Amino acid sequence: MAERILLVEDDPTIVESLGELLRSEGYAVDSAATQDGALAAALGTGGAHAGTPTPYALVLLDVTLAQGNGFAVCTALKQARSNLPVIFLTASSDEFTTVAGIQMGADDYIAKPFRPRELLARIAATIRRAQPAQRVLRFGALTIDTDRAHVERDGAELALSALEYRLLLLFALNPGKLVTREQIRTALWDDAGTYIEENTLSVYIKRLRDKIEDDPAHPVLIETVRGLGYKAFG
């Protein structure tokens, strides 16, 4: 099931363009233009949504709204659902506004205009951090113990380098989803502190496939989506 995002924004142009971007990444998107509309959708506080809050994975929240404001929305959301991730979107990048948003419980903050790939990477990272930790993952014939960074295949330990392990974990946490090459480079940059060039990334993918696929020449766990990236089917 697609993760659902609530976009709280009163500019129809931004709602349309950002909604299209998010849907292209596999997210389901709802939108609200006002404070009351956002709370009704996320918490079931009134209107057509009364009593039926939607289980959103994340809220993208503009500070300035046609009715109410993003700070009030964030405060109410965090009081009712403290584990619901919130990212502020705003045209303002001044320090006071940034600090105010973080103090009210926002998980991240990005100023307009933003780079689409950066926003998508930060959305994915914020959702991932908010999810309960999975100590043991299953990926095909692999068992991944995330507490020990230990991987087994059919009961035997699999020797992976640190980057191979991080790459495997990225795919195991995103089954069935498109993982773009840019997302992979961003994840490896964040975790390993080293930028991964295009050709080098292809080498890492090949090395990982050599270790986890029954037939690396015809991979079934990590499939290439030409021109876009990869999909995991573990």
Q: In percent, how much of the chain has pLDDT > 90? A: 38
What's residue 13's pLDDT?
93
Contact 147, 212 (CB under 8 A): no
Amino acid at 208: L
Please determine, looking at this structure, whether the domain spanning 136-232 carries the CATH number 1.10.10.10.
yes
Nearest Cα to 25, choosing from 124, 108, 110?
124
Residues 126-164 pLDDT 10s: 888 887 665 788 888 899 988 888 999 888 899 999 889
Choose between 198 and 142: higher pLDDT.
142
Residues 17-48 pLDDT 10s: 999 999 998 999 999 999 999 999 998 765 45
Token pair belonging to 39? 């709370």
* CATH 3.40.50.2300 domain position(s) in the chain: 4-130
Q: In percent, how much of the chain has pLDDT > 70? A: 87
What's residue 49's pLDDT?
47
Determine which of 17-26, 116-125, 191-200 has the lowest per-residue pLDDT on average: 191-200
* CATH 1.10.10.10 domain position(s) in the chain: 136-232
Distance, CA of 91 to CA of 110 (rounded, Å): 9
Contact 102, 140 (CB under 8 A): no
Q: Given 3.40.1190.10, 3.40.50.720, 3.40.50.2300, 3.90.180.10, which CATH number is that of 4-130?
A: 3.40.50.2300
